[in-house]
Amino acid sequence: MELFKTTSAAGHEQVLFCHDQASGLKAIIAIHDSRLGAAMGATRLWPYESEAAALTDALRLSRGMTYKAACANIPMGGGKAVIIAKPEEKTCELLQAYGRFIERLNGRFITGQDINLTPQDVRQINRETQYVVGTQEKSGGPAPVTAIGVLLGMKAAAKYRFGSDSLKGLKVAVQGLGNVGQHLCEWLYKNDAKLFVSDINQAKVSKLARLYGATAVEPEEIYGLDVDIFAPCAMGAILNSQTIPMIKAGIIAGSANNQLEDEQLHGEMLTAKDILYCPDYVINSGGLINVYHELIGYNEKKAISHVHSIYDTLLELFNKANTTGMTTHEASKQLAEERIIKTQQAQMLVSA
Ligand code: NAD
């Protein structure tokens, strides 16, 4: 692999390969863009099949974080870190060694909890570095607020598509009943939506079926359901050439990162099928917004009010895509670039 070619292709500034012999830590920290400020991005622990796969994931996710921050009007850059390990290989020593690498970056990268890390794990990292957000002691885990953002995004999509942002009676299929998916289901239940749920973990499916009267669906059946909204809240790349032809939902609105396997091709396939796709890094930015507020002095009311901007941003994007013929994903990238340049200009004026 030609490393500089790979990392500069998507505009990355810096990629760090972190290795600690004693604990066995192998991690990659990708800083995509720090034009607006320190790079923010949570840390994911995953048993990648290869180092190249881990690098690809870190590069894709960190670029998404730049766009996510910009679309959410957050003056921060985009970054992401991945630890290459199986969940059972996690030790306090490994997490603390990772924390020391972050501390040495001196605030250039700020992180938090992503897949396979628990609040306790983040506490271990936090023992070695101050550059951690979203702990229980600070603003709490990001998932409940991410779910609020997804709910607001669904409402914006319903408003655009059906003329009303009420979700009452709408059929919503939720894929993945983890931290975000479970909170989202609770909100959907409270909003009188008709729920369909699937997860590879049957205990979670049974729990949600019992709690909210949701219809349980096998994982492979979720794509072809005759529903109004499909909410991917599990893993990435699930919108691809195999799944898109099956999808009957008119709206895709979920929390998963990197939902489009190929941003251009699959974005266009969705547009051709007249499926309204809520760009992932816009609709799932609630958690980022919430932890950003820690850095400026946490006030829950202000943070949630900021999360409500997801609704307006999505409506702006849907209209922009409609008038220009772009996909909603392309429209969101353009909006992010515009907001980065505008914020940079404003920052330059202040410092002049
Ligand atoms: P999680 O790990 O708590 O939950 C993921 C769930 O998906 C698990 O219950 C898992 O069993 C299930 N799953 C895995 N493969 C599946 C499959 N094939 N079919 C159905 N279910 C499957 O993760 P989370 O924190 O809820 O996040 C969900 C997604 O949202 C992830 O892609 C994450 O990157 C993204 N996201 C999360 C946040 C946040 O605040 N937690 C913020 C932004 C984006």
pLDDT in single tens digits along all 352 residues of the chain: 788 887 777 789 999 999 999 999 999 999 999 999 999 999 999 999 999 999 999 999 999 999 999 999 999 999 999 999 999 999 999 999 999 999 999 999 999 988 899 889 999 999 999 999 988 777 777 899 999 999 999 999 999 999 999 999 999 999 999 999 999 999 999 999 999 999 999 999 999 999 999 999 999 999 999 999 999 999 889 999 999 999 999 999 999 999 999 999 999 999 999 999 999 999 999 999 999 999 999 999 999 999 999 999 999 999 999 999 999 999 999 999 999 998 888 888 887 7
Q: How far apart are CA 24 and CA 27, in angstroms?
A: 10
Q: For position 8, what pLDDT does the model report?
A: 75
Phi, psi of 173 (to 5 degrees): -105, 120
Phi, psi of 110 (to 5 degrees): -120, 130
Q: Is 138 a catalytic residue?
A: no
Distance (Å) from CA 93 to ligand 1 centroid: 26
- For residue 236, the ligand 1 atom closest to its alpha carbon is 32
The residue with tokens 């550059």 is 131
R_g over Cα of the chain: 20
Q: For position 226, what pLDDT does the model report?
A: 98
H-run or E-run covering 63: helix 51-71
Q: For position 141, what pLDDT does the model report?
A: 78
- For residue 116, the ligand 1 atom closest to its alpha carbon is 2
CA-closest residue to ligand 1 atom 40: 143
Q: Is the dihedral of CA 180, 278, 257, 273 positive or negative?
A: positive
Distance (Å) from CA 213 to ligand 1 centroid: 21
Instruction: Please state whether 290 falls in left (phi above 0), alpha (psi between -120 and 50) or beta.
Output: alpha
Q: Are 79 and 32 in contact (CB under 8 A)?
A: yes
- Residue 219, both tokens: 């994982």
Q: How far apart are CA 278 and CA 316, in angstroms?
A: 11
Ligand 1 pocket list (CB less than 6 A): 114-115, 142-143, 146, 175-181, 198-201, 204, 219, 233-235, 255-257, 284, 287
Q: For position 352, what pLDDT does the model report?
A: 74
Q: How far apart are CA 247 and CA 225, in angstroms?
A: 7
* Active-site pick, 26, 68, 80, 138: 80
Q: Are 132 and 112 in contact (CB under 8 A)?
A: yes
Q: For position 328, what pLDDT does the model report?
A: 98
Q: Which residues contact 5 (CB under 8 A, 6 or more apart)?
A: none
Burial (CB < 10 A; 0-12, 13-18, 19+), residue 35, is middle
Mutate to test the pocket of ligand 1, among 200, 207, 261 (most ligand atoms within 8 A of CB): 200
